[in-house]
């Protein structure tokens, strides 16, 4: 029998249900984005990519590295799938990115890992390091489709693009925009001066809103803004008992996707891949 080969994905444009803010009091008052039903979930990874060199098959309830239990799927991209997991050792929720196992994908994962380690290493004591998505752990898993690099990242919320969609017209207030810009500039300054990394792909999709964990009783009956990572192409909502947006009185954003078109000063080549997934 001939082995299936992984092919490049084509982008699929899917109708998106858009939410409007119920009030102007804060992001925690936004209406939820409705989760797409099975018949509408057209924007998902190609099942043919689950082949040798491709995606690793993951199921809810699986445990990675005897530590990270899979709770739900966060998203996918050409390079990887991303999963919401419970860290059984520390009791926290994290995002685990499982890269494809092909040689090029593995190298891309190692490149991203190098950059994340740099940003999360000794320089992480710098005040502005908190403006960059944090690498918590990394490991490899051997599966039916090969050996996959896995990155454990802190759990973040919707990207700025999704946030803009939630608010619709006239968009975000000037005061909020100023806060976001200030924090992005702090993040870039940290990458440039402390890590010697030049991020060349700053865009709304790579700026993520921070979330705080909530008690289930606190979120009962409340609205939850879409729970979305940069590489989550389907606009999925979060489980209501897991997380809710932080108060807009103190907005916190972080730069993600260090694997996408980043240059390391002193190295005569770019570390380039599709980043988020």
- Between 200 and 97, name the one with better pLDDT: 97
Q: Note the pLDDT tens digit of each residue in 187-198.
A: 999 999 888 888
- Between 253 and 250, name the one with better pLDDT: 253
- Model pLDDT, residue 122: 67
Percent of the chain whose pLDDT exceeds 70: 62
Q: How far is the CA of 124 from the CAs of 129, 181, 249, in angstroms?
A: 5, 21, 26
Is the omega angle on the peptide bond into residue 170 within 30 degrees of 0, that is, cis?
Answer: yes
Mean pLDDT for the stretch of residues 205-218: 64
Is there a domain that residue 180 lies in? yes
For the chain, the straight-line distance linking the first and the last C-alpha, in angstroms and rounded, comes to 30
Number of domains in the chain: 1
Whether the full predicted model's pTM is greater than 0.85, yes or no, is no
Is there a domain that residue 48 lies in? yes
Q: Note the pLDDT tens digit of each residue in 3-48.
A: 444 543 322 222 222 223 333 333 332 233 223 344 334 468 999 9
Identify the helix (H) or strand (E) that includes residue 110: helix 103-120
- DSSP tally for the chain: helices H, then strands E: 4, 13
Q: What angle do CA 160, 166, 172 make, to 5 degrees?
A: 65
Q: Which of 62, 201, 231, 257 is catalytic?
A: 201
Is there a domain that residue 253 lies in? yes
Tokens of 32: 């939820």
- Between 212 and 63, name the one with better pLDDT: 63
Clarify whether 201 is annotated catalytic.
Answer: yes
Q: Give the CATH number, domain containing residue 183.
A: 1.10.510.10
- Model pLDDT, residue 43: 66
- Between 164 and 152, name the one with better pLDDT: 152
Is there a domain that residue 1 lies in? no
Lowest mean per-residue pLDDT among 36-40, 69-73, 89-93, 191-195:
36-40
Is there a domain that residue 21 lies in? no
Boundaries of domain holding 185: 27-34+43-271
Distance CA 157, CA 242 (A): 12
Q: Are 129 and 190 in contact (CB under 8 A)?
A: yes
Mean pLDDT for the stretch of residues 176-192: 92
């Amino acid at each position: 029998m001939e082995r299936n080969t992984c092919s490049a994905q084509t982008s699929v444009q899917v109708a998106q249900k858009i939410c409007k803010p119920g009030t102007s009091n804060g992001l925690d008052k936004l209406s939820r984005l409705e989760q797409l039903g099975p018949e509408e979930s057209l924007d998902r990874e190609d099942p043919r990519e689950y082949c040798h060199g491709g995606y690793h098959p993951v199921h809810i309830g699986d445990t990675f590295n005897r530590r990270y239990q899979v709770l739900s799927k966060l998203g996918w991209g050409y390079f990887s799938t991303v999963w919401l997991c419970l860290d059984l050792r520390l009791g926290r929720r994290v995002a685990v990115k499982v890269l494809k196992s092909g040689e090029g994908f593995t190298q891309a994962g190692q490149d991203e890992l190098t950059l994340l380690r740099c940003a999360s290493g000794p320089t992480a004591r710098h005040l502005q390091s908190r403006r960059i998505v944090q690498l918590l752990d990394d490991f490899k898993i051997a599966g039916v489709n090969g050996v996959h690099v896995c990155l454990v990242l802190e759990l973040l919320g919707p990207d700025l693009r999704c946030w803009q969609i939630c608010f619709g017209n006239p968009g975000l207030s000037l005061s909020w925009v100023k806060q976001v810009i200030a924090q992005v500039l702090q993040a870039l300054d940290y990458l440039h001066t402390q890590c010697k990394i030049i991020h060349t792909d700053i865009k709304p999709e790579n700026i993520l809103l921070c979330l705080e964990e909530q008690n289930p009783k606190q979120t009962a009956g409340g609205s939850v803004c879409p729970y979305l990572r940069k590489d989550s192409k389907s606009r999925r909502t979060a489980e209501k008992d897991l997380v809710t947006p932080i108060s807009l009185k103190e907005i916190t954003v972080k730069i993600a996707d260090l694997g996408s078109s980043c240059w390391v000063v002193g190295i005569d080549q770019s570390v380039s891949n599709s980043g988020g997934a």
